[in-house]
Amino acid sequence: MSKVLDGTAIAAAIKQEVAEEVRTLAAKGIRPGLAAVLVGSVPASEIYVRSKVQTCADLGLFSDRITPPDTVTTEEMLDLVAALNARDDIDGILIQLPLPKQVDAKVLLDAIDPAKDVDGFHPVNAGRLQAGRPALAPCTPAGVIEILKRSQIPISGAHAVVVGRSDIVGKPAAMLLLHENATVTICHSKTRDLPSITRQADILVAAIGRPGFITPEMVKPGATIIDVGINRITTREEFDRFFAGNEKREATFAKRGSTIVGDVHPKAFELASAYTPVPGGVGPLTIAMLMANTVRAAKMRRGL
């Protein structure tokens, strides 16, 4: 039997620890604050930001939700970032992605004070992470490490194969695994004979953004699978490819007209010794780690 790694429970434990730290800081007159910038109206982004702001409230952090219109210019956004960099009540700045086409996301992310870059997207933080210096690490990859550690899955000496090389997940996940002494292989869309490499993985991290991409033939029996993917499927054909005969999913699909599948085919999980489900695996960790990063930024900025 494969063990299900319960991301919701792990995230709850982390959030409880963060809330405790917030109480300790409150006794010193410090209240960590997060600015959550939501541009325009992207439904998924609205849901994420609402959840981030709500979690701040739950844990005792201050938050400021800022909502520029989708016609905002790069210059206007740069002014906003400069103002947030200067605000003493703001320790973390989160600009929810994606941004409208006319906004230069790179210029903007580079303008965030690295000390307030709780997403860990700034090149200074990417460089610090690579150099093994204390850094604000991107939340989702940091969450992957927390899941492994808190589930007592040995990382040191393990062969970790990361499929996907994005700046937000794949690359930083590989770096964090390397710092935990894994032997790390990064694969991507141009990798030759991908299954021969993924089959070597003791820890397989799927972060490609393609529904059910990792199939059973690509998995070594007994591996730990971490599925970072969140893909919405809406057609009956796709549904049947992943969830034929799954009554619970059938009910969700009938009710909502869609369901979520990760980057791993559900059949591939059956070979794993442990795996993160989708939903309820890596997803909940992203917000928990954002809260942890905001508290960390608040402390670092005050030299604590």
**Any idea which residues carry the catalytic annotation?**
52, 96, 119
Nearest distance from residue 217's CB to ligand GUN, in Å? 30
The site string for ligand GUN over 94-123 (x = CB under 6 A, - otherwise) reads xxxx---------------------x----
- With beta carbons less than 8 A apart as the criterion, state whether 59 and 22 touch: yes
Q: How many helices (H) and strands (E) does the chain have?
A: 12, 11
- Minimum distance of ligand GUN from residue 171's CB (angstroms): 14
294: contact with ligand GUN by CB under 6 A:
no
Minimum CB distance to ligand GUN, residue 193 (Å): 31
The CA radius of gyration of the chain, in Å to the nearest whole number, is: 20
124 and 114 Cβ atoms separated by less than 8 Å: yes
Q: Considering beta carbons, is residue 99 or 268 the nearer one to ligand GUN?
A: 99
Q: With respect to ligand GUN, which residue has the nearer C-beta, 94 or 282? A: 94
**Is the bond leading into 98 cis (omega within 30 degrees of zero)?**
yes
Nearest Cα residue to 95 out of 144, 52, 143: 52
Tokens of 90: 């703001």
Q: Could you tell me the end-to-end alpha-carbon distance of the chain, in angstroms, rounded to an integer? A: 45
From residue 165 to residue 204, the character string flagging contacts with ligand GUN as x (rule: CB under 6 A) and all else as - is ----------------------------------------
DSSP characters for 192-241?
TTHHHHHTT-SEEEE-S--TT-B-GGGS-TT-EEEE---EEE-SHHHHHH
Q: In whole angstroms, what is the distance from residue 275 CA to residue 6 CA? A: 9
In the stretch 40-79, what mask flags binding to ligand GUN with x, by CB under 6 A?
----------------------------------------
Distance CA 72, CA 104 (A): 11
Q: Which of 38, 108, 135, 139 binds ligand GUN (CB under 6 A)?
A: 139
Which range in 79-87, 92-100, 172-180, 233-241 contacts ligand GUN by CB under 6 A?
Answer: 92-100
Q: Which stretch binds ligand GUN (CB under 6 A): 89-97, 224-232, 243-251, 266-274?
A: 89-97
Query: Which region among 20-28, 50-58, 93-101, 233-241 touches ligand GUN (by CB under 6 A)?
Result: 93-101
Residues at the interface with ligand GUN (CB under 6 A): 94-97, 119, 139-140, 286
